[in-house]
Amino acid sequence: MQAVEAIWRIESARLIAGLARFVRDVGLAEDLAQDALVAALEQWPRDGVPDAPGPWLMAVAKRKAIDALRRRDSYAQKLILIHREAEPPVDDWDDAIADHLGDDLLRLIFTAAHPALTPDAQKALILRMLCGLSTPEIARAFLVPEATVAQRIVRAKRSLTDVRFEMPTRAETAARTRQVQQVVYLIFNEGYAATAGEDWARPTLCHGAMRLGRLLASLLPDDAETHGLLALMELQASRLAARQDADGEPVPLLEQERHRWDRALIRHGLDALDRAEALGGGPYTLQAMIAACHARAIHAEATDWPRISALYEVLAHVQPGPVVRLNQAVALGFAGDPSRGLRIVDELGDKLPGYPHLHGVRAELLDRLGRGDEARAELDRAASMSRNVAEQRLFRRRADRIKPGR
């Protein structure tokens, strides 16, 4: 069962993207992929996992797609349309998908960013189809109830029923780019810090998001924020190997062994940041500049916290939001002003309900102010709110380290 789930996480996006290009229906493509998953759940525990699970899933989905199309009155018209556009015949799907995988994924993202959908529905649909995330995981990423996410996904599929599965025109691309960037970064964030389950991180999602970011950068070479987003993801991803110890336990940023950071990714990220700054930049570029402050610090004590605090101040004006303000509070604490940071956190209480990191940050600031007992209580609260098992353990270890205080 675990093997099937792991393979599904890796293969589902390719499966849906490849199917959607041929059946021209995003909802049908996901249904076909889910049917293939059901077949795997029935057969693999009995017969064993095949040597090539991805092609196995695609072959099953392909057969089901052919059956579904034949049942439709418009089957002949669909075949005519496919041949008219010089698409490969149905029997050659596997080769076509292998040759156009990147384009299929990018096409799927832009399709899901269609103006017919609300921004929240766009994000939910992409996270569901491209990342294979469950409804609870998506709800956690959005900080909204699970029922809300479920409704968004159902409505999004319904809205896309008549939307042609293709890359938008140049004018449409410009209009949808910002939304696509948000979706890509949400995918990256879910990989960088998993919202639920046993895993602290899901590097596969991070690498997938960076691949999509590079595709966007090649598609939009003069868009500053596309390069800013790519820089941000690469700089953050450079720390992935150091974010867990040998036992798989989470390691906070300031305790990481920096020689384990990926220097090639740092170089690539800094190059993308230079490009973004030269083109103008925006919120993603500002966040990448913050990540660069950490990347350039040889050790934790060398981190330029006053600069980071100042950059968050600018970011809070450019892109106001409670999470930005929360990060600013962290920076203020390390820059020597925990009292101001605590005031910011206290103002955010009703804006981030159920968000464990709010209490984690509050604990850090309280501890710096010598209020150890209150800090430990905040970390206990954070652990109880988190749905990620590794993160729960991290909060509890932090609580154990804090000395009792007033």
Q: What is the DSSP string of 233-297?
A: HHHHHTTGGGSB-TTS-B--GGGS-GGGS-HHHHHHHHHHHHHHHHH---HHHHHHHHHHHHHH-
Query: CB-based burial of residue 120 (10 Å sphere; 0-12 exposed, 13-18 middle, 19+ buried)?
Result: middle
The answer to whether residue 134 is domain-embedded is no
Angle between the N-to-C axes of helices 263-279 and 224-237, in degrees from 0 to 180, rounded to the nearest 10: 160
The pLDDT of residue 177 is above 50: yes
More confident call, 352 vs 83: 352
Q: How far is CA 382 from the centre of its chain?
A: 22
Q: Check pLDDT > 70 for residue 124.
A: yes
Boundary-marking domain end, from 99, 118, 138: 99
Q: Which residue did the predictor score with more confidence, 105 or 74?
A: 105
Identify the pLDDT of residue 90: 44
Residue 195 lies in a domain: no
Residue 65, pLDDT > 60, answer yes
- Range(s) of the domain holding residue 20: 1-99
Residue 335 lies in a domain: yes
Whether residue 383 lies inside any domain: the answer is yes
Q: Is residue 204 part of a domain?
A: no
Residues making up the chain, counted from first to last: 406
Residue that is last in its domain, among 50, 79, 99:
99
Q: Is the pLDDT of residue 103 over 70?
A: no
- Long-range pairs, 136-144, Cβ under 8 A, ≥24: 136/196, 136/387, 137/190, 137/194, 137/195, 137/196, 140/195, 140/196, 140/387, 141/186, 141/189, 141/190, 141/195, 143/352, 143/353, 143/354, 143/355, 144/120
* 181 backbone dihedrals φ, ψ, rounded to 5°: -60, -45
Residue 75 lies in a domain: yes
What type of residue sits at position 244? Q
When divided into structural domains, the chain yields a total of: 2
Residue 338 neighbours by CB distance under 10 Å: 22
Instruction: Quote the tokens at residue 338.
Output: 């925990």
* Domain end (from 64, 99, 134): 99
pLDDT of 107 above 70? yes
The predicted model scores a pTM of: 0.72
Give domain status of residue 85, yes or no: yes
What is the predicted pLDDT for the residue at 27?
A: 80
335-382 tens-digit pLDDT: 999 999 999 999 998 899 889 999 999 999 999 999 999 999 999 999
Per-residue pLDDT tens digits for 238-297: 999 999 888 878 898 999 999 999 999 999 999 999 999 999 999 999 999 999 999 999
What CATH number is given to the structural domain containing 327?
A: 1.25.40.10
DSSP, collapsed to helix, strand or coil, labels residue 169 as coil
Query: Angle, to 10 degrees, between the axis of helix 170-192 and the axis of helix 119-131?
Result: 60
Does 109 fall in a domain? no
Q: What percent of the chain has pLDDT over 70?
A: 87
